[in-house]
Amino acid sequence: MSVWMLKGTALVYLLAAVLQLAYLVTLQPGVRTWAQRITWGAFGLHTLALVVRFIEAGYTPVTNLHEALSFFGWCVTALYLLLQLRYHVPSLGAFATPVAMVFVLGATMMHGEVEPLPAALQSWWLPVHVGLLFLGDGAFAVAAAAGVMYLLQERQLKRKRLGALFRRLPSLDVLDDLNYRCLTVGFPLLTMGIITGALWAQQVWGTYWSWDPKETWSLITWFLYAALLHGRLTVGWRGRRAAVWSIVGFGSVLFTFLGVNFLLPKLIPDLKSLHIYTG
């Protein structure tokens, strides 16, 4: 049931992304209104699909790649909609919604059958640890989207050729502030996610840290965002540098999420993570 619901949700996400991009092109208020309505509708259907999946499985649905991709897409949409209520940046949807759509579409292509939960994951730590990490990653995804928008806007200003895209994107100050706000949301969530993971590992394996590849890359990602936050607060990093760091940081997020499990073993066959997706 939840698998078919997610496939239907993916189609709504696709429509939402098309409408968000259509607004960026046309700047028509009516298109904007429907883009937001459909995006909220996709988020609502997605939430319902996750609830149904939880009822079917009997555990928090984040254990296999189908579930993880779906939940990641939900987190991206949740953070985008939350920030949109605060900042009212219409063009942000054209950059954030397609990201969520890609994750959800990817989830529909993965094996989606409900499977028994491995013994090591049968803990209340699962929703706490994974929820914190994915919500933080959702904030970083929106920060990266704002970073891309910043670089596009800056490029037009430097060339002194203010094309059609210039009128469609917010000011550099707004984009830089949005990037910073996403960082202040995502970094504490990432930090708490790593801490809860260490506490869970101590309970299951008797050690807080084992230098597992996924743990190591999570720490690398943490240091990247810690450096960005430190630079902003003490050195005054703003603008282009902050935008680039946000994009690089999200690249590290994606590598931690997918690369460690699927790319790293091909590069270094003997280096495998215990943090694998079931199914």
* CA–CA dist 255, 251 (Å, integer): 6
Ranges of each domain in the chain? 1-111, 118-279
Report how far Cα 172 is from the mean position of its chain's Cα atoms. 22
- Residue 188 tokens read as 């504490």
For residue 271, what pLDDT is reported?
Answer: 56
Tens of pLDDT, residues 90-99? 899 999 999 9
Strand blocks (E) in the chain? none
Residue 142 is predicted with a pLDDT of 95
| 51-68 mean pLDDT | 89
Mean of the per-residue pLDDT values for the chain? 87
Q: Rounded mean pLDDT of 141-158?
A: 90
Question: Is the torsion defined by CA of 3, 257, 101, 136 positive or negative?
Answer: positive
Distances (CA, A) of 93 to 86, 100, 251: 14, 10, 20
Q: How far is CA 134 from CA 1, 80, 223, 273, in A?
A: 24, 13, 17, 19
- The position carrying tokens 């690249």 is 251
